């Protein structure tokens, strides 16, 4: 806000903007009292604070900080750590070059998705993010939020390349599909509902063009994507709207014709970013003319939202998300269609099993009394995502 004029911006029209973990970070700023008045709107692409949480307990944060500081020689003993002598450790870290810190962090975070996570119970996030959202203790304004059609596919490829190679043609059994689902959910400390495979793998609806192998892959993609991205984002949209704020929801459903991802991966996590930043316009040799025009429309809508709080343009009308019908816009070239209740039945299923808030009085008291220890409303939904890949590899070797 204080510097945006130097870049031609308006201090009163700042929009925070993030993808995946960046979306969760932007969502946190909507809650933090330290961020009030510094921005007006937020764009959350494939991430919300109801997603697999990136919050850590105070104890875990101290342990991770000490481990990292020790790699740089800044926390060498129990008598000189982040808990007993935080100023000494921080000053030591500040004395290191950026290159040294970067190299240490690369080594420290090897095999992890995210090695350091925020905590609540401090000045930036005084209370549990769940409690604040449910009580409406959140910055008022407009939010543009959405997800992609096949959010879970990227994680199948990254976690299980032997079963889900980039250009796969191999057969996948139901047994393998169930094992992978259990491994993924267990690695993220999520409960595995007893009927999840009945709901997804035995679902009556199916695309007629899909083979049995393709159907199994698609169902597993949906389990991961719905649990960690789509349904948390939809739930945040409902909650934020309930408190009188304006929300615009999208479902990005276009697969790039020259996509580097395997066909089975569909429209994976973060695939919309190339269109938001105009890559088809800047590098037309890698895209079709239609995709270049599609990118221009996407950029127009994002800019319109940042300027006015409404993403509608002269070419595309975008209805506001409403708490009763959950209106959203499907984004495809030349096909901007309005839908309602995105994945309603499946999101209701996860809502029942994960027990999303609203909180009862006992739950609210627990979150208030133990801000550094409560990380999710449901125990064991997520402990720490930083150990994700280590756990995946461990369970993969054991069960697959």
* Active site members: 20, 151, 269
For 259-263, which contacts have Cβ atoms below 8 Å and span 24 or more sequence positions? 261/153, 261/154, 261/157, 261/166, 262/157, 262/165, 262/166, 262/167, 262/168
**Secondary structure of the chain: what % helix, strand, coil (to 5)?**
45, 10, 45
The tokens describing 218, both together, are 């698609």
The DSSP symbol for 400 reads: -
Question: Helices marked H in 192-261 — which ranges?
Answer: 196-200, 212-225, 231-242
Q: State the angle between helix axes of 174-187 and 388-399 in degrees (0 to 180), rounded to the nearest 10.
A: 150
**Rounded to an integer, what distance in angstroms lies between the CA atom of residue 224 and that of residue 65?**
30
Helix H or strand E segment including 327: strand 327-332
Residue 327 Cα distances to 247, 318, 337, 348, angstroms: 10, 9, 10, 16
Residue 186 Cα distances to 197, 374, 382, 384, angstroms: 15, 19, 9, 12
Q: State the angle between helix axes of 212-225 and 174-187 in degrees (0 to 180), rounded to the nearest 10.
A: 10
Going by C-beta distance under 8 Å and a sequence separation of 6 or more, which residues neighbour residue 77?
none
For tokens 């009085």, what's the residue? 361
**Rounded to an integer, what distance in angstroms lies between the CA atom of residue 55 and that of residue 368?**
15
The tokens describing 26, both together, are 């932007």
**Rounded to an integer, what distance in angstroms lies between the CA atom of residue 108 and that of residue 91?**
20
**Rounded to an integer, what distance in angstroms lies between the CA atom of residue 181 and that of residue 136?**
34
């Amino acid at each position: 806000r204080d510097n945006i004029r130097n870049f031609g911006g308006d201090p009163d029209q700042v929009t925070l903007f993030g993808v995946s973990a960046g979306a969760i970070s932007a969502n946190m700023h909507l809650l933090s009292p330290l961020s009030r008045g510094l921005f007006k709107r937020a764009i959350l692409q494939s991430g919300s604070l109801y997603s697999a949480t990136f919050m850590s307990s105070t104890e875990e944060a101290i342990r991770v900080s000490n481990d990292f500081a020790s790699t740089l020689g800044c926390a060498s003993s129990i008598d000189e750590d982040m808990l007993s002598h935080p100023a000494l450790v921080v000053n030591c870290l500040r004395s290191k070059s950026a290159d040294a810190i970067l190299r240490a962090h690369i080594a420290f975070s090897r095999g992890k998705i995210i090695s350091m996570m925020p905590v609540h119970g401090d000045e930036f996030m005084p209370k549990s993010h769940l409690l604040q959202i449910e009580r409406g203790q959140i910055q008022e304004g407009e939010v543009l939020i959405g997800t992609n059609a096949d959010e879970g596919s990227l994680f199948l490829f990254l976690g299980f390349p032997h079963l889900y190679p980039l250009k796969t043609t191999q057969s996948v059994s139901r047994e393998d599909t169930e094992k992978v689902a259990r491994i993924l959910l267990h690695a993220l400390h999520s409960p595995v509902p007893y009927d999840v495979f009945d709901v997804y793998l035995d679902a009556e609806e199916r695309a007629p063009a899909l083979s049995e192998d393709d159907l199994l892959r698609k169902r597993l993609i949906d389990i991961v994507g719905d649990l960690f991205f789509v349904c948390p984002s939809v739930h945040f949209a409902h909650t934020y709207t309930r408190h009188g704020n304006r929300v615009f929801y999208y479902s990005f459903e276009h697969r790039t014709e020259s996509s580097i991802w395997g066909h089975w991966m569909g429209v994976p996590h973060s695939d919309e970013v190339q269109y938001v930043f105009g890559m088809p316009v800047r590098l037309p040799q890698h895209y079709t003319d239609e995709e270049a025009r599609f990118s221009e429309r996407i950029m127009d809508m994002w800019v319109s939202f940042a300027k006015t709080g409404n993403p509608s343009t002269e070419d595309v009308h975008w209805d506001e998300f409403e708490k009763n019908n959950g209106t959203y816009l499907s984004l495809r070239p030349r096909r901007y269609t309005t839908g309602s209740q995105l994945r309603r039945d499946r999101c209701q299923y996860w809502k029942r099993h994960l027990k999303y808030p609203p909180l009862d009085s006992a739950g609210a008291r627990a979150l208030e009394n133990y801000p550094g220890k409560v990380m999710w409303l449901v125990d064991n939904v997520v402990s720490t995502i930083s150990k994700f890949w280590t756990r995946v590899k461990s369970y993969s070797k054991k069960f697959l």
